[in-house]
Amino acid sequence: MSAAVERPEAAGEPYLSIESLTVRFPTEDGLVSAVTDLSYSVELGKTLGIGRVGLGQVGIQHGRARAPRPTYGADHRVHPRVGGTEVIGLSEERMRELRGDDVAMIFQDALAALHPFFRIGDQLVEAYLLHHKKASKREARKKAIEALALVGIPRPERRVEDFTSSRVACGNGG
Amino acid sequence: MFGYIVRRLISAALVLFLTSLFVFGLLYKGPRDPARAICDSNGRCTPVKLENLTKAMGLDKPVLTAYGEWAKGLVAGRTINMGGSANYECSAPCLGVSWKTRTEVTKELVQKYPATLSLALGGALLYLTLGVFVGVLAARWRGTFADRALVTSTLIVSSIPYYLVALLAWIYFTQKFPILPQSTYHPITDSPAKWFAGLLLPWLVLGLTNATQYSRFSRGQMVETLGEDFIRTATAKGQRSNVVIFKHALRAAIIPVVTIFGLDFGTLLGGTVFTEFIFDLDGMGRWGLQAVFTPTDIPVVTATVLVAAFFIIMSNLVVDIIYSLLDPRVRLG
């Protein structure tokens, strides 16, 4: 973990917080409101479940990362905070440090979320090395195998060599 | 992979065989007697002269016999008599003797090829790198003024005939305002500086006009790829946007560009008629064009067609191999 974000645990502030988020999609039939005035917060070590798929995704996506060029319109009165840091208005460089380290997202379609031309292991290694500058490639690889084992993928040491197009790719249990 | 390449080479040989047979046969049995045309072009044509010439050119034999002799020369070499006492000891690969210049086609080919090769390599390198780079940047900043200006200008350039662009460039940049060196071909072995100077304008014209199409095409591919889920993943990891674009996105977007480039480059290697003609480059394209003009020089035309077909087939094969290197899902076999 980098020290890029001040940890607010002591202050008792929630780790992730979103205030009155409104998300609207421009469609052919005009603006469609997907989320209206949603507020929530999650403390470190806690889990929050949001009922309908889509709601949580978009909300967190915005809070997480000012998703790259969002295709939906979001209300900018929102003040998403991650670990005490106001997300909107952050520089691209600070945002990059935040992404994948202090806040991350698990995408729904694992096959489409991985690059088809790079080995699964290399993609995990890339993510680890981005936030662990001092780690060696070997350490990162070990972490990648551990991560695959952790989610119950059989023979992770073999799977890291695979592409998503390989016979057995990632997925729930493989 | 090895077996695949061997199979492809065998089929390539078959295609070349059929191509040469068709070109040879069609010209040989064409509406106009080639001997008559050559006879007419050398003063008054008497029946005796015509008969001698027909014999000398081998036009008195059946097509397949003549083709057989020509094909034998390609593999093993042969002796050619063009009438009179002169015999040509044409060693393999013998493509015959030009009916117009009376020199061996293979020797002429070796002499003309460097101009075409130089032009094709420089032009293609320019349009591939510039086109893809500009296309990627346009995709990254899509919707901005620069992006729209690019798309509009590529449409304008694509809609002007290429020979007009080339001719205007030649008139304005070498004649009216001589800011660029006069275009012509000097062998690189003579003087690399002169070689470069003479090819500069043809390279720029060929490169820039084609670059517009490549930039538009790669822009489209990039826009599509940037919308993929795996690009979002790369960004969500915290990866730098330049790395996301040039490593993750370009790797996937470049594949269709490689296909188009393979075909274009193969065609370029077969000779660029307009470019060579306008810029006074003594290469394959101009050679082939001159050979087609009456009187038709069948050995030369056959040779140029064969060379063009060879390069198109080869560049297709190379593209398929590059494909398998770029995309792990592609297995050659």
Residue A93, pLDDT score: 83
Contact B134, B215 (CB under 8 A): yes
Distance from CA of B240 to the nearest CA of A (A): 7
Two structure tokens written together for B56: 């000398």
More confident residue, A92 or B263: B263
DSSP letter at A78 equals -
Token pair in block for residue B231:
């690009």
Alpha-carbon dihedral sign for residues B200, B205, B208, B210: negative
Q: Does A98 touch chain B (CB under 8 A)?
A: yes
Place of tokens 């190379």: B318
Helix axes B229-236, A55-65, angle to 10 degrees: 50
B158: pLDDT strictly greater than 90? no
Mean pLDDT of the region A85-89:
72
Residue B175, Cβ neighbours under 10 Å: how many? 9
> In Å, how far from its chain's centre is CA B29?
27
- Categorize the per-residue pLDDT at B265 as very low, low, confident or very high, splitting at 50, 70 and 90: very high
State yes or no: pLDDT of B26 exceeds 70: yes
d(C-alpha B100, C-alpha B38), whole Å: 8
Distance between start and end Cα atoms, chain B: 6
Of A92, A107, A163, Cβ closest to residue B328? A163
Q: What is the pLDDT of residue A8?
A: 45
**Overall average pLDDT of the A137-160 stretch:** 90
Interface residue B248 vs chain A (CB under 8 A): yes
- Cross-strand partners of B104: B97
Q: What is the mean pLDDT of residues B178-185?
A: 87
Contact B139, B226 (CB under 8 A): yes
Q: What is the mean pLDDT of residues B6-17?
A: 89
Q: Which residue of A has its CA nearest to B251?
A: A117
Residues of chain B with C-beta less than 8 angstroms from the C-beta of A65? 235-236
Q: Distance (Å, rounded) from C-alpha B53 to C-alpha B48?
A: 9
Could you report the per-residue pLDDT of B80-119, keeping only the tens digit for each?
Answer: 776 656 677 788 788 888 888 888 889 999 999 999 999 9
Q: Minimal CA–CA distance to B33: which of B21, B50, B49?
A: B50
Q: CB distance B328–A165 less than 8 Å?
A: yes
Contact call for residues B219 and B135 (beta carbons, < 8 A): yes
d(C-alpha B185, C-alpha B197), whole Å: 9
Q: Do A130 and B252 touch (CB under 8 A)?
A: no
Question: Which pLDDT band holds residue B218 (cuts at 50, 70, 90)?
Answer: very high
Give the distance from CA A37 to its chain's centroid.
Answer: 22
Min Cα separation B25/chain A (Å): 48
Chain A residues close to B234, C-beta within 8 Å: 115, 126
Q: What are the residues whose beta carbons fall under 8 Å from the beta carbon of A149, sequence distance 6 or more?
A: A156
Any chain B CB within 8 A of the CB of A50? Answer: no
Give which of B141, B233, B241 to mutate to test A binding, by max A Cβ within 10 Å. B233
The pLDDT score that the predictor gives to residue A56 is 45
What does each C-alpha distance from B136 to B26, B125, B321 come to in angstroms? 46, 17, 24
pLDDT band at A61 (very low <50, low <70, confident <90, very high): low
Q: Is the pLDDT of residue B293 over 80?
A: yes
Give the burial class of A169: count Cβ atoms within 10 A of its Cβ; 0-12 exposed, 13-18 middle, 19 or more buried: middle
Q: Tens digit of pLDDT for each residue in A12-21?
A: 667 777 777 7
Average of per-residue pLDDT across A106-110: 76
3-state SS, chain B, equals CHHHHHHHHHHHHHHHHHHHHHHHHHHHCCCCCHHHHHHHHCCCCCHHHHHHHHHHCCCCCCHHHHHHHHHHHHHHCEEEECCCCCEEEECCCCCCECCCCCCEHHHHHHHHHHHHHHHHHHHHHHHHHHHHHHHHHHHHCCCCHHHHHHHHHHHHHHHCCHHHHHHHHHHHHHHHCCCCCCCCCCCCCCCHHHHHHHHHHHHHHHHHHHHHHHHHHHHHHHHHHHCCHHHHHHHHCCCCHHHHHHHHHHHHHHHHHHHHHHHHHHHHHCCCHHHHHHCCCCCHHHHHHHHHCCCCCHHHHHHHHHHHHHHHHHHHHHHHHHHHHHCCCCCCC
In chain A, positions 67-96, which contact chain B (CB-CB < 8 Å)?
A: 67-68, 92, 96
The number of beta carbons lying within 10 Å of the beta carbon of residue B253 is 25
pLDDT of the residue at A31 = 76
What percent of chain B clears pLDDT 90, i.e. is strictly above it?
Answer: 35
Structure confidence by residue, pLDDT tens digits, B220-231: 999 999 988 899
The answer to whether B324 touches B5, Cβ cutoff 8 Å, is: no
The arithmetic mean of pLDDT across residues B153-165, rounded, is: 89
Q: Please answer yes or no on whether A130 and B230 come within 8 Å at the CB atom.
A: no
The percent of residues in chain A predicted with pLDDT above 90, rounded, is: 10
Q: Name beta bridge partners: A32.
A: A25
First-last CA distance in chain A:
29
Q: How confident is the model at residue A164 (pLDDT cuts 50, 70, 90)?
A: confident
Cβ atoms within 10 Å of A17's Cβ, excluding its own? 18
Q: Which of A62, A109, A117, A161 to mutate to test the interface with B (most CBs of B within 10 A)?
A: A117
pTM score, two decimals? 0.79
Average pLDDT over residues A90-112: 79
pLDDT of residue A50: 66
pLDDT confidence of residue B45: 81
What mean pLDDT, rounded, does chain B reach?
87
CB contact under 8 A, B238 and A115: no
pLDDT given for residue B85 in this prediction = 60
B102 to chain A, closest Cα gap in Å = 55
**B143 contact A CB<8A:** no
User: A69: pLDDT confidence band, cut at 50, 70 and 90?
Assistant: very low
Asked if the model's pLDDT at residue B122 lies above 90, the reply is: yes
According to the model, what pLDDT value does residue A51 have? 56
> What does each C-alpha distance from A26 to A73, B67, B332 come to in angstroms?
7, 68, 45
Average confidence score pLDDT of chain A: 71
Q: How far apart are CA B203 and CA B196, in angstroms?
A: 10
Distance CA B253, CA B246 (A): 10
